[in-house]
Amino acid sequence: GENVEQHPSTLSVQEGDSAVIKCTYSDSASNYFPWYKQELGKGPQLIIDIRSNVGEKKDQRIAVTLNKTAKHFSLHITETQPEDSAVYFCAATNNAGNMLTFGGGTRLMVKP
């Protein structure tokens, strides 16, 4: 089955700096790669996603890049703010497209 590795497990940045979280996946048939943000006491919430026919996608301060050849994708957050502090999860679909496999999560801390 699909295996998703996520790094780093914790990330601390100064407010205003950029943050990058990286994930690798194992199944070359995977074609959908979402990112979820989980705030304290809440369930994860989808923040951005990308499909395998696209190399990059942006939404205001967040962007995701995908390298299909290398089987890795990354989340980029620019101009970080304290409210960006949360746990972020990457995920990839299985080859049937009906299941998501999640990475281990990254705890992002943005220091004011």
Partner 1 sequence: DVKVTQSSRYLVKRTGEKVFLECVQDMDHENMFWYRQDPGLGLRLIYFSYDVKMKEKGDIPEGYSVSREKKERFSLILESASTNQTSMYLCASSLFSGEKLFFGSGTQLSVL
Which parts of this chain interact with partner 1 (CB under 8 A)? 1, 4, 6, 9, 32, 34, 36, 41-46, 49, 89, 91, 93-94, 97-105
Give the E-state strand segments of the chain in sequence order.
4-7, 10-14, 19-25, 32-38, 45-51, 56-59, 62-67, 72-77, 86-93, 100-102, 106-111
Q: Token pair of 46, please? A: 């989808």
Residue 102 DSSP symbol: E
Cβ 38 to partner 1, closest distance in Å? 8
**CB of 5: closest distance to partner 1 in angstroms?**
10
CB of 93 to partner 1, least distance (A): 5
Return the number of the residue (19 or 34) whose C-beta is nearest partner 1: 34
